[in-house]
C-alpha cells in the first residue's frame, strides 16, 4: 500500500475546504440524492461525497456505507485529489500496487473497484471526490464517467450555494445584533435627553416670568428661539425612537376593527383645527389586521398631510378597497406637494421633501421611512404621486391574514 502524497497547495486547499463550514454537518437530502443517483448510474454498491481533511476523509453523503469517515492514510480519495482534473479509476485494487495491501481492500474487502471524480472549487482546489465503490472488479463506460462528472459539478454548486446561505445567515444575524444595539441606543438616548430638554423648556418659561419687563424684544426672541429649538429636538428624538420601536408593533396579532373608528381616533390625537376637512371612506369597512401598526401608518401619513399643507382649508380624503389578498388604501391631500426629484427617495431615512412645514418648522425625514418599514413588514407596498402646489397621493396595501 502507498500512502498518498500531500498536494503542493495543501495548506491553501485545506483553508478552502474549511471555509465551506461543511465538515461534520448534518446529512442533507440534496447531497444524498446525488449519491443515490451515482450508485444507480454506475451499478455500484457504495457512493460517497468524500471530503479530504488534514488526517481523515469525511463523508458529507454516503450510500451503502455505515461509517462516516476513515483515516486519510488509507483513503483512495487522497490519491484522487492529486490530479484535480482527471478521474481516478481503479478497476481492481488487488492488482494495483498503490492499494493492494490497503486494509479497506485486503482486510475489509470493501474497496475492490473505485472510481473518484475530484470535487474542484472555483479556485482550482480539489476538496474531495464524488466516488463510487464496489466489492468486486468493475469497468465503467465513458457515458457513466461523464455522468459522474456532471454529478460532481452539481456537488460543487451545492457547496457554493450552502456557503452563500451560511454567509447570508451570518450577515443577517450580525445585522440583527446591530439593529438591536441601535434600537437600545435610541431608547436610552431618548430617555436621557428628553428630560433635560423638558427642563430647558420649563426653565425658559420660568426665566421669562421672573425677568418680566426687564427683557427687551430681542431678548424675548432669543428665549423663544431656545424654546422652539428644544421642542424641535424633543420631536426629533421622539421620531427616532418611534422609528426603531416600530419593529415591536409588528408582533401584535391581527384583530377586527372598524376602519373609520380607527381614523377618528387618529383625528382626535392630532387635535384637528376648524381649517381641516377629512373625508373618511364611504364604505367604512371592517378590517382584520394589525391595528396598532396600521394606526401608526395612518397617523404619520395624515399628520404629514396637515403639516405640509399651505392652503387655508386643508382637505384630506381617504379611500379604501380590498381583494382576496390585500387591503388597499389611498390618502390624498391638497398640500404643498413633493418635488419630482424627491419622489424616488422620499421614503429613505432622513430624506426631506420640503424645507419647512406649515408652521415654518423643518422636518427630520424619519416618519415616511417608518411608514414604509411598517408597510413592508405587513406584506404590502407603498407608492407616492404628487403635483407641486396642488396635491399628494399616497397609496399603500397591507396583506390580509392567512
For the chain, the domains span 10-164, 251-402
What dotted CATH number matches 10-164?
A: 3.30.450.40
Q: In the predicted model, is pLDDT for residue 355 greater than 70?
A: no
C-alpha cell, 73: 492514510
- As a whole number of angstroms, the distance between CA 280 and CA 266 comes to 12
| Per-residue pLDDT tens digits for 286-305 | 999 988 889 889 988 998 89
Q: Residue 250: what are its φ and ψ, rounded to 5°?
A: -65, -25
Fold observed for domain 251-402: Heat Shock Protein 90 (3.30.565)
**Dihedral (CA of 66, 70, 74, 78) sign:** positive
Here the contacts of 349-356 (C-beta below 8 Å, separation 24 or greater) are 349/243, 353/308, 354/308
Q: How many other C-beta atoms lie within 10 A of the C-beta of residue 91?
A: 15
Q: In the predicted model, is pLDDT for residue 154 greater than 90?
A: yes
Q: How far apart are the first and last CA of the chain?
A: 64
pLDDT of amino acid 217: 79
Q: In the predicted model, is pLDDT for residue 325 greater than 80?
A: yes
Q: What is the mean pLDDT of residues 157-170?
A: 89
| Per-residue pLDDT tens digits for 68-85 | 999 999 999 999 999 999
pLDDT of amino acid 195: 67
pLDDT of amino acid 46: 97
Q: In the predicted model, is pLDDT for residue 368 greater than 90?
A: no
Which candidate, 347, 238, 242, 353, places its Cα nearest to that of 307? 353
Place of cell 406637494: 337
Q: In the predicted model, is pLDDT for residue 279 greater than 80?
A: yes
pLDDT of amino acid 299: 86
- As a whole number of angstroms, the distance between CA 13 and CA 48 comes to 20
Q: In the predicted model, is pLDDT for residue 246 greater than 70?
A: no
Residue 84 φ/ψ region, left for φ over 0, alpha for ψ in the -120 to 50 degree band, beta for the rest: alpha
pLDDT of amino acid 193: 66
Worst-scoring range by mean pLDDT, 14-18, 310-314, 344-348, 381-385? 344-348
Place of cell 427687551: 216
Amino acid at each position: 500500500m502507498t500512502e498518498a502524497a500531500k498536494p503542493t497547495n495543501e495548506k491553501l486547499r485545506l483553508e478552502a475546504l474549511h471555509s465551506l463550514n461543511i465538515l461534520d454537518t448534518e446529512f442533507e437530502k440534496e447531497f444524498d440524492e446525488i449519491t443515490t443517483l451515482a450508485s444507480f448510474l454506475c451499478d455500484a454498491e457504495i457512493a460517497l461525497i468524500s471530503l479530504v481533511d488534514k488526517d481523515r476523509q469525511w463523508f458529507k453523503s454516503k450510500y451503502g456505507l455505515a461509517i462516516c469517515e476513515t483515516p486519510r492514510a488509507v483513503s483512495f480519495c487522497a490519491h484522487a485529489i492529486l490530479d484535480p482534473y482527471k478521474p481516478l479509476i481503479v478497476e481492481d485494487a488487488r492488482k494495483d500496487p498503490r492499494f493492494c495491501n490497503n486494509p479497506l481492500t485486503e482486510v475489509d474487502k470493501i474497496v475492490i473497484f473505485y472510481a473518484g471524480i475530484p470535487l474542484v472549487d472555483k479556485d482550482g482546489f480539489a476538496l474531495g471526490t464524488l466516488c463510487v465503490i464496489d466489492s468486486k472488479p468493475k469497468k465503467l463506460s465513458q457515458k457513466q464517467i461523464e455522468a459522474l462528472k456532471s454529478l460532481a459539478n452539481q456537488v460543487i454548486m451545492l457547496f457554493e450555494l450552502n456557503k452563500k446561505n451560511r454567509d447570508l445567515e451570518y450577515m443577517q444575524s450580525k445585522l440583527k445584533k446591530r439593529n438591536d444595539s441601535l434600537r437600545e441606543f435610541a431608547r436610552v438616548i431618548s430617555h436621557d435627553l428628553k428630560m433635560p430638554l423638558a427642563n430647558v423648556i420649563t426653565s425658559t418659561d420660568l426665566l421669562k416670568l421672573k425677568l418680566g419687563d426687564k427683557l427687551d424684544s430681542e431678548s424675548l426672541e432669543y428665549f423663544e428661539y431656545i424654546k422652539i429649538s428644544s421642542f424641535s429636538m424633543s420631536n426629533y428624538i421622539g421620531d427616532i425612537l418611534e422609528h426603531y420601536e416600530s419593529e415591536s408593533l409588528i408582533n401584535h396579532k391581527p384583530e377586527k376593527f372598524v376602519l373609520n373608528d380607527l381614523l377618528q381616533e387618529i383625528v382626535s390625537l392630532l387635535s384637528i383645527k376648524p381649517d381641516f376637512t377629512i373625508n373618511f371612506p364611504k364604505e367604512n369597512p371592517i378590517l382584520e389586521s394589525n391595528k396598532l401598526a396600521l394606526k401608526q401608518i395612518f397617523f404619520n401619513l395624515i399628520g404629514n398631510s396637515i403639516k405640509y399643507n399651505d392652503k387655508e382649508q386643508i382637505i384630506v380624503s381617504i379611500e379604501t378597497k380590498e381583494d382576496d389578498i390585500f387591503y388597499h388604501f389611498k390618502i390624498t391631500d391638497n398640500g404643498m406637494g413633493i418635488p419630482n426629484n424627491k419622489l424616488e427617495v422620499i421614503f429613505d431615512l432622513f430624506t426631506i421633501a420640503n424645507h419647512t412645514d406649515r408652521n415654518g418648522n423643518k422636518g427630520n425625514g424619519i416618519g415616511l421611512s417608518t411608514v414604509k418599514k411598517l408597510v413592508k413588514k405587513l406584506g404590502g407596498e407603498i407608492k407616492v404621486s404628487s403635483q407641486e402646489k396642488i396635491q399628494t397621493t399616497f397609496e399603500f396595501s397591507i396583506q390580509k391574514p392567512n
